């Protein structure tokens, strides 16, 4: 791998991320009081899609080690049988690198900068890079698919991409 291509980070918004899945955030979410008014429910924040081929929801915590700049993007992965949601358990800055579902086209890579108040839910089959947390060791609640069939495809990129550090 000789050539390095620059990949600019953009702010994570529902509209920009829609082709790849859901942004999980409270701003703008449908909400209402429950439990006699002692709790506010932020309702239906993501489409969890894990039922393919008899799959079931799986709840885990991933502990991400902090990355340092520059960040090289040399591989991508996807989960063809189910969505995969990541929600930080404490405010932490992280980056999301994605490409549309289908055959991987590295020219369609997009990178999003997350301020730590949002989570993401990758739609079934969407290509994405493994966790890219910054600043400190960071825990993420992860909801994805459990089942007997393999559900993770990984591929190396023909050229490396380098994330530009946000300003």
Structure tokens at 127: 């290509």
pLDDT of residue 2: 58
Q: Provide CB contacts within 8 A for 60, sequence distance 6+.
A: 141, 142, 143, 144
Question: Architecture of 4-163 per CATH?
Answer: Sandwich (2.60)
- What is the average pLDDT value for the chain, to the nearest integer? 96
Nearest Cα residue to 166 out of 118, 120, 115, 103? 115
pLDDT of residue 8: 95
pLDDT of residue 167: 77
Does residue 72 have a pLDDT over 90?
Answer: yes
- Average pLDDT (83-101) is 97
Does residue 1 have a pLDDT over 70?
Answer: no
Q: Is residue 3 very low, low, confident or very high in pLDDT (cuts 50, 70, 90)?
A: confident
Specify the DSSP class assigned to residue 164. P
What is the pTM assigned to this prediction?
A: 0.95
On the question of a cis peptide bond just before residue 70, with omega within 30 degrees of 0, the verdict is yes
Percent of the chain at pLDDT > 70 equals 99
pLDDT of residue 111: 98
Structure tokens at 130: 């493994």
pLDDT of residue 51: 96
Q: Is residue 166 very low, low, confident or very high in pLDDT (cuts 50, 70, 90)?
A: confident
pLDDT digits 0-9 by tens, 53-70:
999 999 999 999 999 999
């Amino acid at each position: 791998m000789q050539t390095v291509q620059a990949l600019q980070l953009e702010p994570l918004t529902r509209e920009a991320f829609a082709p790849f899945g859901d942004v999980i955030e409270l701003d703008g979410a449908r909400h209402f009081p429950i439990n006699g008014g002692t709790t506010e429910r932020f309702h239906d924040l993501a489409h969890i899609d894990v039922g393919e081929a008899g799959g079931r929801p799986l709840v885990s915590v991933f502990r991400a080690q902090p990355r340092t700049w520059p960040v090289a993007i040399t591989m991508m992965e996807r989960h063809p049988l189910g969505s995969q949601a990541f929600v930080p358990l404490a405010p932490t800055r992280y980056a999301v690198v994605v490409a549309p579902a289908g055959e991987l086209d590295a020219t369609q890579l997009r990178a999003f900068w997350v301020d730590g108040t949002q989570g993401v839910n990758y739609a079934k089959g969407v290509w994405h890079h493994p966790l890219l947390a910054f600043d400190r060791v960071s825990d993420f609640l992860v909801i994805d698919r459990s089942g007997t069939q393999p559900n993770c495809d990984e591929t190396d990129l023909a050229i490396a991409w380098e994330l530009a550090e946000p300003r």
